[in-house]
């Protein structure tokens, strides 16, 4: 039976859910407060430079190919994808360099060159990541996480729970896998992929480097904004109505179910189904006030935020990669500072220079540098002072951009909160800190009948693949509830 569906927010989760529900025959309207859809899948353009200021990497592209095929297209029709090799360049101040390649044998050889015997240890670590992922994909990510019983039904045996390695932390997994301190630091970085900390996050996250090794690290020519545009095209192709530049100010409801959304232009969109592609705390604090639901979703710990810079740099940098990481000297000190709600004094710096692969992203002969460091959520930042600190720390790694900058635009946690209504500027919504984090994350089923949650703050979490998975889970739930 066809229903009217209102979706709050046109991020990736909202767009993907809209496509699935429209293909299923429903009348879907997306309401997005910003002038463009895409949510955190966003770009910044200035003086001929283009920067991906949200996701800068596409993994598991088959998830989006499935979505595009539902809309009568394919990922090859929509995007010009390049599989990156090397995937990442990692650097330390002592001159150590590690290149993770798009080939298992080549990557193992790089690990051996970095530390004799580390290639075999990497293969063992990657195989353990395979076990985690294969188990998690058919259990945790196969459906909603409304209660442990539901999860247990998807498990083949009790051993599945141990197979995903939830009892160790990423820090412990790193120590067990590698003797070399730098390689342990490399493992710990993958906790930050979900806005978490390696000494708090479960070793389950060790599946992430395996996913990159198995499915590749992809870049769509023209930038990640082309993925946003493709999702918008496909949504409109299947009949989704998209309203941008207007804000949802409330969810309307009767005593026993939602009835639609109230919009900032004074209109009401009647809908028997409302999907919130918005932060769960914003939903239950502002749009559909519910003290009990707010208390419940507040149990999920916020992910880290970040301080980012978009730098138009003159000239070329020798040896730079598309994706680069310059590690702090003392990783534990960096994470302890974040836990203490302090800006890291020697932060690990991520740098994406997509013009290495795609010359269209910068003027001829120049480079587009996107730099990101992890920060606590909700922290105030003196952006001028911290810009200088980050650039000084980068220069101490041998990469000095200070005299090459044509401009430097800055993004602080407060900007992230303002742009995306993510409390504290938490980039990934909720973190994966703690072995019960997956159960603390807000449910996809809302506090009232007819209400559903999709996106990074709800199950299964943040990042493009998980948000695409969240959309599939929610669309399937809705169809099942209507059956």
Per residue in 304-346, pLDDT tens?
A: 999 999 999 999 999 999 999 999 999 999 999 999 999 999 9
> Residue 306 phi/psi, 5° resolution?
-160, 160
Residue-wise pLDDT for 90-114, tens only, equals: 999 999 999 999 999 999 999 999 9
- 354 alpha-carbon distance from chain centroid: 18
Q: Tokens for 293? A: 């639901």
362-389 tens-digit pLDDT? 999 999 999 999 999 999 999 999 999 9
User: What is the pTM for the complete model shown?
Assistant: 0.96
For residue 274, the model assigns a pLDDT of 98
DSSP code, position 105: H
* pLDDT over threshold 90, residue 434: no
Express each pLDDT in 28-74 by its tens digit: 999 999 999 999 999 999 999 999 999 999 999 999 999 999 999 99
pLDDT of residue 116: 98
Is residue 240 over pLDDT 90? yes
Q: Span 4-40+221-300+435-482: which CATH code? A: 3.50.50.60
Residues 22-33 have a mean pLDDT of 98
User: What tokens were used for 309?
Assistant: 């810079």
pLDDT class for 75, splitting at 50, 70, 90?
very high
Show Cβ contacts of residue 384 under 8 Å, excluding neighbours closer than 6 positions: none
Phi/psi at 219 (5° precision): -130, 125
Whole-angstrom distance, CA of residue 122 vs CA of residue 187: 10
Per-residue pLDDT band at 438 (split at 50, 70, 90): confident
HEC profile for 254-311? Answer: ECCEEEEEEECCCCEEECCEEEECCCHHHHHHHHCCCHHHHHHHCCCCECCEEEEEEE
Q: Does position 76 have pLDDT exceeding 90, yes or no?
A: yes
Say which DSSP state 312 is in.
Answer: E
pLDDT digits (tens, 9 = 90+) for 288-300: 999 999 999 988 8
> What is the radius of gyration, based on Cα positions, of the chain?
22
**pLDDT of 146 over the 80 cut:** no
CA 455 to chain centre: 10
pLDDT at 194 over 90: no
DSSP designation for 442? P
Query: What b/e string do you get for 38-66 counting C-beta neighbours within 10 Å, with b at 16 or more?
Result: bbbbbbbeeeebbbbbbbbbbbbbebbbe
pLDDT surpasses 90 at 8:
yes
List the structure tokens of 355. Answer: 């013009």
For residues 170-189, give the mean pLDDT.
98
Residue 436: pLDDT over 80: no
Instruction: State pLDDT tens for residues 248-292.
Output: 999 999 999 999 999 999 999 999 999 999 999 999 999 999 999
Task: Supply the mean pLDDT for the chain.
Answer: 96
Break the chain into its structural domains and give their ranges.
4-40+221-300+435-482, 121-216, 304-420
pLDDT of residue 278: 95
pLDDT for residue 483: 86
Contact 306, 416 (CB under 8 A): yes
**Measured CA angle at 236 (ends 219, 479), to 5 deg:** 95
- Residue 115 DSSP one-character state: S
Can the peptide bond before residue 311 be classed as cis, meaning omega within 30 degrees of 0? no
- Counting other chains too, the contacts that 402-407 makes at CB distance below 8 Å and 24 or more residues apart are 404/313, 404/314, 404/315, 405/311, 405/312, 405/313, 405/314, 406/47, 406/312, 406/313, 406/314, 406/366, 407/46, 407/47, 407/311, 407/312
Residue with tokens 């196969």: 142
Q: Quote the percentage of the chain above a pLDDT of 70.
A: 100
Give every CB contact of residue 318 below 8 A, 6+ residues apart in sequence: none
Query: What was the pLDDT predicted at 149?
Result: 78
- Which pLDDT value is given to residue 312? 98
Q: What DSSP character marks residue 421?
A: -
Q: Output the six-digit token pair for 100.
A: 């993770």
Using CA atoms, how far apart are residues 43 and 185, in angstroms rounded to an integer?
30
């Amino acid at each position: 039976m066809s229903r009217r569906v209102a979706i709050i927010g046109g991020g990736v989760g909202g767009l993907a859910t809209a496509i699935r529900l429209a293909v299923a025959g429903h009348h879907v309207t997306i309401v997005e407060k910003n002038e463009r859809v895409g949510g955190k899948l966003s770009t910044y353009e200035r003086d001929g430079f283009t920067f991906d200021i949200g996701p800068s990497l596409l993994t598991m592209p088959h998830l989006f190919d499935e979505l595009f095929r539902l809309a009568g297209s394919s990922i090859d029709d929509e995007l010009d994808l390049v599989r990156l090799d090397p995937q990442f360049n990692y650097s330390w101040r002592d001159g150590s360099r590690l290149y993770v390649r798009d080939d298992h044998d080549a990557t193992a050889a790089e690990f051996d060159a970095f530390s004799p015997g580390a290639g075999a240890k990497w293969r063992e670590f990657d195989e353990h990541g395979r076990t985690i992922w294969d188990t998690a994909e058919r259990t945790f990510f196969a459906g909603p996480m409304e209660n442990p019983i539901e999860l247990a039904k998807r498990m083949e045996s009790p051993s599945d729970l141990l197979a995903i390695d939830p009892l160790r932390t990423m820090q412990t997994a790193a120590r067990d896998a590698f003797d070399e301190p730098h390689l342990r630091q490399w493992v710990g970085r993958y906790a930050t992929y979900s806005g978490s900390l390696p000494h708090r996050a479960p070793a389950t996250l060790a599946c992430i480097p395996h996913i990159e090794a198995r499915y590749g690290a992809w870049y769509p020519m023209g930038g990640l904004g082309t993925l946003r545009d493709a999702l918008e095209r496909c949504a409109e192709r299947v009949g989704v109505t998209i309203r941008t530049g207007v804000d949802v100010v409330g969810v309307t409801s009767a005593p026993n179910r939602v009835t639609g959304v109230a919009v900032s232009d004074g209109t009401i969109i009647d809908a028997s189904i409302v999907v919130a592609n918005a932060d769960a705390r914003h939903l239950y604090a502002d749009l559909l006030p519910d003290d009990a639901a707010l208390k419940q979703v507040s149990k999920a710990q916020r992910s880290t935020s970040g301080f980012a810079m978009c730098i138009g740099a003159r000239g070329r940098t020798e040896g730079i990669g598309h994706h680069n990481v310059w590690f702090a000297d003392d990783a534990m000190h960096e994470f302890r500072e974040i836990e203490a709600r302090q800006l890291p004094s020697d932060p690990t710096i991520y740098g994406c220079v997509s013009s290495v692969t795609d010359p269209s992203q910068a003027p001829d002969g120049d480079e587009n540098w996107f730099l990101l460091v992890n920060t606590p959520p909700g922290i105030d930042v003196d952006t001028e002072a911290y810009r200088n600190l980050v650039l000084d720390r980068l220069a101490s790694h041998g990469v000095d951009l200070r005299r090459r900058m044509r401009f430097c635009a800055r993004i602080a946690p407060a900007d992230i909160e303002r742009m995306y209504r993510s409390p504290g500027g938490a980039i990934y919504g909720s973190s994966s800190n703690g072995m019960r984090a997956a159960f603390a994350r807000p449910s996809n089923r809302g506090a009232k009948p007819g209400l559903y949650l999709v996106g990074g703050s709800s199950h299964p979490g943040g990042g493009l693949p998980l948000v695409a998975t969240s959309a599939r889970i929610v669309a399937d739930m809705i169809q099942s509830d209507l059956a």
